[in-house]
A = this chain, B = another copy of it.
């Protein structure tokens, strides 16, 4: 029995310090996330983060040397959580490769309907175009997702050459991400997400099973 919910943040405990410090650190990141989700990247200023977290501006500087460092930590905390979830899903003991692929699809499409993901990821996509750090960290996340998909594809259709499996994983991963804009939180098509999940699972599994090396030749 897998859990299809990805926690908002996964924070690695910092060495030394009081428990209060640990809470403060996490509380700041949660406030920043909430700001980004509810008001967009323009609202992500130290002043507003301070207000949001009921703290003082100066205190942010105690936890994070700079705004950039704060954003880095936030991104790390969000992404780490995904990486952990992916690992759990694809290594679920006793489940067939096909079932684990379906679970992966469920996890991602389910996650897409959360407010956090629907709002946060488009912000990240936009930011990644002009911020090298965000770009790199996002690439790592998606690489990891594709590696996971790739493993499952290899189990389901071992005939497929490695480079073609990679493109197939890309196609599947990209297809799912695209739903964010249409069937995410409070989007016009959220209500249809259950059907979309069914459609996606069937379509992807069929694609993985039926694809032959020749299908990748341009027509």
Q: Which positions in A face B, CB cutoff 8 Å?
A: 39-42, 118-119, 122-123, 125-130, 139, 142, 167-168, 170-171, 173-183, 188-189, 192, 194-203, 207, 215-219
A167 touches B192 (CB 8 A): yes
- Residues in B neighbouring A192, C-beta threshold 8 A: 167, 170
- Residues in B neighbouring A119, C-beta threshold 8 A: 129
B198 touches A219 (CB 8 A): yes
- Residues in B neighbouring A130, C-beta threshold 8 A: 39-40
A175 touches B173 (CB 8 A): no
- Residues in B neighbouring A40, C-beta threshold 8 A: 126-127, 129-130
- Residues in B neighbouring A219, C-beta threshold 8 A: 198, 201-202
Top 9 nearest A-B pairs by Cβ distance?
A178-B178, A175-B175, A174-B178, A122-B125, A177-B178, A122-B126, A126-B126, A40-B130, A174-B179
Min C-beta distance of A126 to chain B, whole Å: 4
- Residues in B neighbouring A173, C-beta threshold 8 A: 178, 182
- Residues in B neighbouring A127, C-beta threshold 8 A: 40
- Residues in B neighbouring A216, C-beta threshold 8 A: 195, 198-199
A197 CA to B174 CA, complexed, in Å: 13
Min C-beta distance of A216 to chain B, whole Å: 6
Q: Which of B129, B167, B196 is the one whose CB lies under 8 Å from A171?
A: B196
B177 touches A181 (CB 8 A): yes
- Residues in B neighbouring A175, C-beta threshold 8 A: 171, 174-175, 178
